[in-house]
Amino acid sequence: NRHSGAPAYDAFLHHAGARRTRSADEYRERAAAHAAAAARVAAHDAPSTGYSIALTRMADMLPQEKEALVSQHPVQGGGGGALPGPRPGDALSTRTTRPLPSSVDWRGTAADSPVKDQAMCGSCWAFGTIGALEAAAWRASGAQTLFSEQHLVDCAWSPEAYAGKYPNAGCGGGYQTTAFDWVFARHGAVASRDYPYRGVGGLCDTKVKNAATFSGKYVWVGGGDDGLREALLAQGPMTVSVDASADDFPLYRSGVYNNTRCEERLSRLDHAVLISGYGVDAATGAAYWLVKNTWSALWGEGGYVRIAIRPDDCGISSQPLYLELEGYKAAA
């Protein structure tokens, strides 16, 4: 198609999948966003930062699209309100003195589900919830079962202005903890093949059957960095939240992401992800968390980002959660 005169942006469009713009004004907005991203990539000093950035398919996103994509906070739109913290009576893991290996990597195993794509929907909370459930189901059965994020997007919310018992808002954000509460209240989960992901909110299908029934609880990981390392070794992948608000996070390409402007406070974390291990970069010696995003395998290192553990891990160690299933039965 003939575009509106920004050659570099036109080349990006064709290379990245030829996004269709609906008007000349939208084209100019996206071309300006792309130009700003290109300038940021050109100015980035990969040798000093330890990571590289590139013009990913998100390089021409508009600010409101980026905000919607990473906003976990329902209703507030990402502004104000911290992610839920532990409540009285919640389970908390503790650190032991067992020796820990220098690295743990669950990628490519049955414990770590394939990299997924949330598309243009603020449903990261649903993907974080389901990823932790898939890891727990693997621990209980030894087999990989993929569950439905769309089921949570459509059904795991409360109608009272999204502020009821399950304050999630479909593509408008949500929390892993309240999604876990909803999943355990109905004692089961639906298979992804029976309730496929669409990337938009829809009416809840109440007739679809559970692919597995279970009971259990979610566990907060305590014990600091070594407590999280130990939990990853013993429990496998789990869900965490991250501060993904920096302009260069959507442009991450490779290396150990080390943005010292990241926040670690729960009030600033805005994106649910999965953590699949930890390690030490062979070239730089930087210790990192291995994090699986939900922006497709075309983003980052095959869908993953390695985030520096210190001095600032962008909140990865602030809210790790895994599921402990007390009873589990897969569908016949």
Written as tens digits, the pLDDT of the chain (332 aa) is 455 678 888 888 877 665 777 888 888 999 999 999 999 999 999 999 999 999 998 999 998 888 888 877 775 443 345 677 787 778 888 888 889 999 999 999 999 999 999 999 999 999 999 999 999 999 999 999 999 999 999 999 876 544 457 788 899 899 999 899 999 998 999 999 999 999 999 999 999 999 999 999 999 999 889 999 999 999 999 999 999 999 999 999 999 999 888 988 888 899 999 999 999 999 999 999 999 999 999 999 999 999 999 888 999 998 899 999 999 999 86
- Tokens coding 20: 């269709």
| 13 phi, psi to nearest 5 deg | -55, -45
Residue pair 112/275 in contact (Cβ under 8 Å)? The answer is no
What's the Cα-to-Cα distance from 172 to each of 72, 116, 200, 282, rounded to whole Å?
A: 8, 18, 10, 39
CA of 106: how far to CAs of 19, 147, 163, 237, 245, in Å? 34, 18, 36, 7, 26
- Determine the Cα angle at 257 with ends 173 and 124, to 5°: 15
Name the residues annotated as catalytic: 124, 271, 293
Q: Is the dihedral of CA 34, 78, 154, 134 positive or negative?
A: positive
Spatial distance between the Cα atoms of 320 and 259, rounded to a whole number of angstroms: 20
Helix 7-16, helix 24-43: angle, nearest 10? 90
Is residue 44 a contact partner of residue 36, using CB atoms and an 8 Å limit? no
